[in-house]
């Protein structure tokens, strides 16, 4: 019996090849999109799940308020919190602290040196807590003792040509370190799906020793409740109540931080919060994040689109199947007269549905495996080269596919099997009003979604373009940035740098050069609480500090609103400050001119010599911070070189030659500042690409359904078309009559979807500090595009029917 049904099912599908092809193609595209989206979502949500006991690990977050006003939220916190919590609360099974530091590492025996930025000073417990998989060396002792380092397998091969390096040494230099580090172990390259990138870890004891050498007698690395640059992780015992633990953190903050005289005097209050390790990548976007994190809302949105696309594909199937009901009515009547039971017919029609979905999923599977490398490259994701999906998402997809296959097949099967044979065979059968209403409703749903996706695509494009093209208040074009030299000691650096700069400016391809502690596009970690001595009652606030030389302001064309730039003519400028207008307002000055000559303090008293117009130091996703700029002619964080546009390659080669002459022990690392800055928009651009791609495919699937429905509608009205033509109807009027019902449905879709589009995209835009205003024309354009797409889809069939010879049309029945 099953084999017979299978044969009949294949025969029925082959009879209407166009109908079958539309259904299979629509379903195959829907399944392909769903699987690709699920792979993306599965990877994004897999971050930090590889760590053992990851469900029990949380990271600390620090929020600071001043006079009840939020000053900042930081992913880092104080190093004194972790040992205090471990000592006082049994819920804390373990903890680890890490703090980043850029090191110049070299293996002089092989003449290999690199500037390394992806590593941390770390407690020994970080190896196990952060899932560092050791290949050689001990998990427990490799980071015990000063001047110890563990490195990744790739890093070992980069410096030594082999990963058998335990016991060997690397010379490490930084602003605070100049030591030979003994390699205590090698670990497997750290997984990419982590909120951290770890190429090396230096023992925490090394940091303690360096601080002591530099005169710190307070054991700041372990006891400080004021230095908040440490990422702090707790491993909680199983069964720990998160709310109870959160309350205990509040007690720690009040006892050790908020009770300090300075905090009380300035009405400063800190709050400590935890975030689960697995949530950091998608749901943590605070100051001083270790890396650029993803967006949980974007991932959830794409997950929803995967469901929507599959839903649109199955809506097509239901629409086309029920539209064919008249065509198959006589078949049902004959089968019932010959004794077929309703259950037999349901099984037959369900088997046809299963065959069609099976064909679609086979085509989709082949397509997915072929497209995965291209899709991963489009998304900038370093996932597996082939298609990969976690067991959880395979189960979700399987559940969706099975449920969708059954539900999309059941309604047509019950409709077709329910026809009365007497009415059908007498020719009295016609489509029911209920079936027509369902099909119209489903078309409205499809095109409502299409309008939302079209409007969303326009708004996403507008927002990304707005961020990339908005005036920043600073000129970052044609700027080559070098990582500052670290190998020269402080006593020699000033003369070496000035000679380097003078020699460099002789190059005709170079217009200017400036040095600074940071550059645009890189987050500033140097912050302090400042207050104005003239407005102590306001309490001041946190200012973001940057050190510059004399040429920085002119180099980047920063606009002075009042006062002057730093000058060699004023020896007092070493205690001077330039602030932006946002800091001026925060410090209580009525206007920029009012701030000139006033003193501000953060333990160190500075005199304001200039106020500049605020500029975007970071991308437009984030607000402009209040900033104070200090004079440090010897600063060596970054060297910004303004270039002529002609012959860039030779100019860069000349810069490299000059660099190697003055700083032979430092690697020559550079980047273009505009590329670096625009890299902050990478995730938003990728989201825009993905949104546009799947929006287009969803609309394409909806058009398949509309094409099939219009074809069947016109087929059923062939005789009507012939009669109208005989009676003198023009081709245009026939096309209008055949198209108008569908166009009305598309217009209704627009009316229903426009407010939904606004709500969805308005909510998305709230994640940006600087954003566009949604214009009404966007929804008008989306509606016009939807109508145009629908009209193009329908018009081919309508024009074809209108141009058909009426004699042929009248003979068709």
For 780-798, the pLDDT digits (tens) are 888 888 888 877 777 766 6
More confident residue, 405 or 198: 198
Q: What is the mean pLDDT of residues 408-431?
A: 58
Average pLDDT, the chain: 84
The lowest-confidence range among 208-217, 244-253, 315-324 is 315-324
Mean per-residue pLDDT for 350-361? Answer: 83
Give helix 296-323 / helix 325-337 axis angle, nearest 10°: 60
User: Does the structure show a pLDDT above 70 at 401?
Assistant: yes
The tokens describing 105, both together, are 């590492």
Which pLDDT band holds residue 429 (cuts at 50, 70, 90)? very low
Tell me the per-residue pLDDT of 704-730, one tens digit each, with 9 for 90 and over: 777 766 766 666 666 676 777 666 777
Rg (CA), the chain: 34
More confident call, 728 vs 356: 356
Q: What is the pLDDT of residue 194?
A: 94
State residue 733's pLDDT score: 75
- Rounded CA separation 233/132 (Å): 14
The pLDDT score that the predictor gives to residue 264 is 80
Q: Which of 57, 45, 236 is nearest to 130 (CA)?
A: 57
Is residue 175 scored above 90 in pLDDT?
no
Cα 57 to Cα 45, 51, 81, 627, distances in angstroms: 16, 9, 16, 35
* Residue 385 pLDDT: 57
User: What is the C-alpha end-to-end distance of the chain, expressed in Å?
Assistant: 34
Enter the pTM of the model.
Answer: 0.84
Contact 570, 576 (CB under 8 A): yes
Assess contact for 329 and 384: CB atoms under 8 A: no
74: its two tokens = 């930081």
Supply the pLDDT for residue 428: 46
**What pLDDT, on the 0 to 100 scale, is given for residue 213?**
79
Q: How many Cα atoms are found within 13 Å in the side-chain-facing hemisphere of 405?
A: 21
Q: Which residues contact 109 (CB under 8 A, 6 or more apart)?
A: none
Most confidently modeled of 15-29, 680-694, 797-811?
A: 680-694
**pLDDT at position 196, please?**
94
Predicted confidence (pLDDT) per residue in 645-697, tens digit: 788 889 999 999 999 999 988 889 899 999 989 888 888 888 888 888 888 88
pLDDT tens digits along 475-532: 999 999 998 888 777 778 888 889 999 999 998 899 999 999 999 999 898 888 888 8
| 12 vs 179, more confident | 179
Cα(789)–Cα(739) distance, integer angstroms? 13
Indicate whether 63 pLDDT > 80: yes
Task: Report the pLDDT averaged over residues 724-744.
Answer: 73
In the block, residue with structure tokens 């309490």: 539
Number of other residues whose CB lies within 10 A of the CB of residue 633? 17
């Amino acid at each position: 019996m099953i084999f017979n049904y299978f044969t009949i099912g294949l025969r029925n599908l082959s009879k209407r090849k166009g109908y079958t092809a539309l259904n299979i193609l629509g379903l195959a595209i829907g399944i392909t999109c769903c699987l690709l989206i699920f792979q993306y979502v599965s990877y994004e949500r897999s971050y930090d799940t590889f760590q053992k006991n990851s469900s029990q690990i949380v990271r600390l977050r620090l929020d600071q308020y001043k006079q009840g006003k939020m000053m900042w939220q930081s992913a880092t916190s104080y190093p004194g919190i972790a040992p205090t919590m471990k000592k006082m609360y049994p819920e804390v099974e373990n903890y680890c602290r890490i703090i980043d530091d850029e090191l110049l590492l070299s293996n002089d025996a092989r003449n290999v040196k690199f500037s390394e930025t992806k590593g941390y000073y770390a407690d020994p417990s970080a190896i196990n807590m952060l899932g560092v998989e050791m290949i050689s060396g001990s998990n427990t002792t490799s980071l015990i003792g000063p001047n110890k380092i563990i490195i990744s397998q790739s890093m070992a091969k980069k410096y030594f040509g082999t990963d058998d390096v335990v016991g060997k040494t690397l010379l490490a230099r930084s602003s605070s370190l100049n030591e030979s580090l003994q390699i205590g172990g090698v670990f497997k390259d750290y997984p990419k799906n982590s909120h951290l990138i770890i190429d090396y870890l230096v023992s925490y004891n090394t940091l303690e020793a360096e601080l002591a050498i530099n005169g710190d007698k307070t054991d700041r690395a372990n006891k400080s409740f004021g230095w908040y640059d440490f990422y702090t992780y707790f491993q909680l015992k199983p069964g720990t109540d998160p709310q109870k633990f959160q309350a205990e953190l509040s007690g720690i903050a009040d006892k050790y931080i908020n009770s300090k005289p300075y905090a009380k005097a300035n009405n400063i209050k800190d709050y400590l919060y935890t975030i689960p390790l697995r949530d950091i990548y998608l749901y943590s976007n605070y100051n001083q994040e270790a890396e650029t994190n993803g967006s949980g809302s974007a991932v959830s949105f794409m997950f929803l689109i995967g469901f929507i696309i599959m839903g649109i594909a199955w809506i097509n199937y239901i629409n086309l199947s029920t539209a064919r009901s008249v065509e198959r009515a006589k078949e049902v009547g004959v089968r019932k007269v010959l004794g077929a039971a309703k259950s037999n017919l349901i099984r037959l029609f369900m088997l046809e549905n299963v065959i069609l979905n099976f064909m679609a999923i086979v085509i989709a599977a082949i397509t997915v495996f072929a497209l995965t490398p291209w899709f991963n490259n489009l998304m900038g994701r370093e996932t597996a080269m082939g298609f990969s999906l976690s067991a959880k998402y395979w189960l979700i997809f399987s559940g969706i596919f099975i449920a969708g296959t059954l539900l999309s097949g059941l309604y047509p099967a019950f409709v077709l099997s329910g026809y009365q044979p007497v009415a059908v065979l007498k020719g009295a059968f016609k489509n029911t009003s209920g079936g027509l209403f369902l099909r119209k409703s489903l078309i409205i749903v499809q095109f409502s979604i299409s309008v939302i996706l079209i409007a969303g695509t326009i708004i996403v494009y507008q927002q990304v373009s707005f961020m990339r093209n908005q005036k920043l208040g600073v000129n970052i074009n044609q700027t080559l940035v070098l990582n500052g030299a670290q190998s020269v000691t402080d006593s020699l650096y000033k003369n070496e740098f000035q000679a380097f700069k003078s020699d460099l400016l002789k190059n005709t391809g170079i217009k200017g050069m400036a040095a600074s502690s940071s550059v645009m596009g890189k987050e500033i970690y140097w912050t302090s609480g400042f207050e104005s001595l003239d407005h102590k009652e306001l309490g001041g606030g946190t200012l973001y500090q940057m050190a510059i030389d004399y040429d920085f302001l002119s180099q980047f064309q920063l606009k002075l609103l009042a006062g002057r730039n730093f000058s060699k003519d004023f020896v007092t400028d070493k205690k001077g400050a330039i602030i932006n207008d946002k800091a001026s307002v925060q410090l209580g000055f009525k206007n920029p001119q009012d701030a000139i000559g006033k003193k501000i303090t953060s333990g160190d008293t500075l005199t304001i010599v200039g106020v500049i117009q605020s500029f975007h130091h970071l991308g437009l996703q984030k607000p402009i911070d209040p900033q104070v700029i200090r004079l440090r002619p010897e600063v060596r964080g970054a060297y910004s070189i303004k270039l002529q546009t002609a012959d860039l390659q030779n100019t860069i080669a000349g810069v490299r030659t000059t660099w190697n002459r003055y700083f032979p022990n430092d690697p020559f690392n550079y980047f273009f500042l505009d590329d670096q800055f625009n890299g902050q928009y990478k995730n938003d651009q990728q989201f825009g690409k993905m949104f546009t791609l799947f929006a287009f495919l969803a609309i394409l699937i909806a058009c398949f359904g509309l094409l099939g429905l219009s074809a069947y509608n016109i087929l059923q009205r062939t005789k009507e078309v012939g009669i109208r033509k005989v009676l003198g109807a023009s081709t245009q009027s026939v096309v209008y009559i055949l198209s108008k019902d569908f166009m009305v449905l598309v217009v209704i879709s627009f009316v229903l979807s426009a407010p939904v589009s606004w709500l969805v995209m308005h909510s998305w835009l709230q994640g940006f500090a600087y954003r566009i205003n949604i214009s009404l024309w966007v929804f008008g354009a989306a509606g016009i595009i939807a109508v145009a797409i629908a009209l193009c889809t329908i018009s081919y069939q309508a024009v074809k029917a209108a141009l058909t010879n009426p004699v042929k049309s009248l003979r068709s029945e």
